[in-house]
Amino acid sequence: MKKMSLAKKMLIAMILGLLCGILFLMLRENLLANGNGELWNTINNWLFADITAAGNESAVGIVYIVGQIFVRLLQVVIVPMVFCSIALAIAKMDDAKKLGRITTKTLGYFFLSSFLALLVAGFVGYGVYKAGMFSGVNIASLEASAGATGANPLKVLLEAFPINITAAFSSNGSILAVVVCAVGMGLAMGTIPQKTQTIKKLLEEISEIVQVVLGFIVHYMAPVGVFALLTRTFAAYGIDYLLPALAYVITTVILLLAFLLIGYALIILIFGKLNPLPFVKKITKVAIFGFSTSSSAATLGLNQQTTINELGASEDIVSFVLPLGMTINMDGTAIMQVIAAIFIAAVGGYDITLTSVFTITVLALVASIGTPAAPGAGAVILFTVLTGMGYANDPALMAYSLILAINRPIEMLVTSLNVVGDSAAAILVCKSEGSLDMETYMAQEPNAETVNM
């Protein structure tokens, strides 16, 4: 019997996870409405409770534990994978002009997709605001929260250059610093290739080990992990949180889905002059994986495998573009932050003009560059945009609290955009460099190496 592909298993896991999550959400609402809150608390403690949170010392959280083990196994390989792939990719590019050209094209494509995403988000958000859909939101039941601490968006430039290399390697939140260190290592290795054969071989062997570990995690644990993550995410949210910000949720979801399903296909078609259907078909499982994990970093390995083995992109270029994109190419995050900022400003009673929308989009672009590739980071970094605009009165802070409460499902869709955008950029760069294997790109059947168990 022909083995089921990973893409089909991921799709089945996503559908079952969504269905189970919705069923548990309905069960939760029914029990709470009928005064059976204790029964729901018991179910929640056994299945969904965050066992690391205060007050949950006696909880079991079976589904939570399964999902978190899966995510942690993915996250533990992020730093060595990023460092080795970028350092080796740059070391192999002995042509300095080619390296500069690829870097320029990569940043250019990142800016292009981000500009288009922000342009659409700004106009849609302003249109929804002018239509009055963000007015009349009832947030009286929420308490004002200062959320995160605002920071200058340009701080990301300083944090990209660590003063201690071990500190940069000790946290997945310092990926941009890891990228800079890897670029420096790669350039040095390329300058003295004969004297760095040992370190090059070491990095290659580490990279091979990471790929083996990653392949095992993705192929054998992904469906179960995806099911657990989706089930818990939707089971954990009550209707009372979602209804007050329904206009924000609907607007953001529709816009994100439109850019994911149509925007990138048009970018591939117009700027790459490629048939977008193979790209859309093959990148679907990466989008599902990003949706379920809500982490660009956790999705990096599968994204690299798919872009190289199924879409025909050059390994050297992909190894440089995707880790870089994971740290600075945040189309979905930028879209979410623009709509959320306009929504919060409207609730706070601030006057919104085209000039203020433009300022929001610029701040969102800069802030999104420094967003860690981890679940929930986008909503926290949103506070930087709000403080930059001066949206800090009590209603605005309460609206921000509401965003923090309900934004996890939206962050999942945001991640799908971020990872698909990275792959699209890699395809465009390879096409412009003549390094795209068109036979592999157009192949109907994906490479069995990446999709079959």
Question: What confidence category does residue 388 fall into, taking pLDDT thresholds of 50, 70 and 90?
Answer: confident
Question: What confidence category does residue 240 fall into, taking pLDDT thresholds of 50, 70 and 90?
Answer: low
Task: Using the predicted structure, report yes or no on whether residue 41 has a pLDDT greater than 70.
Answer: yes
Task: Using the predicted structure, report yes or no on whether residue 32 has a pLDDT greater than 80.
Answer: yes
Rg of the chain on CA atoms, in Å:
22
Q: What are phi and psi of 239, to 5 degrees?
A: -65, -30
Report the mean per-residue pLDDT for the chain: 81
Please state, in angstroms and rounded to a whole number, the distance separating the CA atoms of residues 178 and 80: 9
Give which of 388, 404, 386 is closest to 348, Cα–Cα.
386
* DSSP H or E segment with residue 237: none
CA distances from 58 to 44, 52, 173, 360 (A): 12, 10, 30, 44
Q: What percent of the chain has pLDDT over 70?
A: 84
- E runs forming strands in 196-341: none
The pLDDT, as a whole number, for residue 145 is: 43
- Calculate mean pLDDT across residues 392-418: 78
Question: What confidence category does residue 310 fall into, taking pLDDT thresholds of 50, 70 and 90?
Answer: very high
- Asked whether the beta carbons of 99 and 319 are under 8 A apart, the reply is no
Question: What confidence category does residue 244 fall into, taking pLDDT thresholds of 50, 70 and 90?
Answer: low
DSSP state for residue 341 in the 8-state scheme = H
Please state, in angstroms and rounded to a whole number, the distance separating the CA atoms of residues 181 and 83: 8
Question: What confidence category does residue 100 fall into, taking pLDDT thresholds of 50, 70 and 90?
Answer: confident
Residue type, 314: S
- Asked whether the beta carbons of 102 and 93 are under 8 A apart, the reply is yes
- Calculate mean pLDDT across residues 110-120: 89
| Sole residue written with tokens 């591939």 | 268
Q: 6-29, pLDDT tens digit by residue?
A: 667 877 888 898 889 889 988 988
- Asked whether the beta carbons of 423 and 317 are under 8 A apart, the reply is no
- Calculate mean pLDDT across residues 82-96: 78
The pLDDT, as a whole number, for residue 372 is: 53
- Asked whether the beta carbons of 412 and 236 are under 8 A apart, the reply is no
* DSSP H or E segment with residue 20: helix 6-33
The pLDDT, as a whole number, for residue 37 is: 85
Q: Does residue 211 or residue 353 have the better pLDDT?
A: 353
- Asked whether the beta carbons of 179 and 321 are under 8 A apart, the reply is no
Orientation angle between helical segments 6-33 and 276-293, nearest 10 degrees: 40
Mark residue 283 as left, alpha or beta (left: phi above 0; alpha: psi -120 to 50; beta: remaining): alpha
Task: Using the predicted structure, report yes or no on whether residue 219 has a pLDDT greater than 80.
Answer: no
Give which of 444, 445, 340 is closest to 396, Cα–Cα.
340
Domains assigned to the chain: 96-165+240-451 (1.10.3860.10)
Question: What confidence category does residue 153 fall into, taking pLDDT thresholds of 50, 70 and 90?
Answer: low
Q: 266-304, pLDDT tens digit by residue?
A: 999 999 999 999 999 999 999 998 888 877 878 888 899
Least confident span in 151-155, 388-392, 447-451: 447-451
Q: 354-363, pLDDT tens digit by residue?
A: 888 888 888 7
The pLDDT, as a whole number, for residue 273 is: 93
Torsion of Cα atoms, 73 then 75 then 81 then 82, to 10°: 170
The pLDDT, as a whole number, for residue 205 is: 92
| Sole residue written with tokens 């949950």 | 56
Residue-by-residue DSSP string for 36-62:
-HHHHHHHHHHHT--TTSTT-TT---H
The pLDDT, as a whole number, for residue 124 is: 92
Q: Does residue 401 or residue 192 have the better pLDDT?
A: 192
Sequence-ordered list of residues with C-beta below 8 angstroms from that of 405, at least 6 positions apart, any chain: 142, 241
Q: Which two tokens stand for residue 91?
A: 């070391």
The pLDDT, as a whole number, for residue 329 is: 81
| Helix runs in 294-330, H state only | 296-309, 315-328
Q: Does residue 331 or residue 380 have the better pLDDT?
A: 331
Question: What confidence category does residue 82 fall into, taking pLDDT thresholds of 50, 70 and 90?
Answer: confident
DSSP state for residue 160 in the 8-state scheme = T
- Asked whether the beta carbons of 113 and 421 are under 8 A apart, the reply is yes
Q: Which two tokens stand for residue 328?
A: 């600075």
Task: Using the predicted structure, report yes or no on whether residue 152 has a pLDDT greater than 70.
Answer: no
- Calculate mean pLDDT across residues 161-166: 85
- Asked whether the beta carbons of 83 and 182 are under 8 A apart, the reply is yes
Sequence-ordered list of residues with C-beta below 8 angstroms from that of 169, at least 6 positions apart, any chain: 79, 83, 178, 181
Task: Using the predicted structure, report yes or no on whether residue 220 has a pLDDT greater than 90.
Answer: no
Question: What confidence category does residue 396 fall into, taking pLDDT thresholds of 50, 70 and 90?
Answer: confident
Orientation angle between helical segments 296-309 and 315-328, nearest 10 degrees: 160
The pLDDT, as a whole number, for residue 370 is: 53
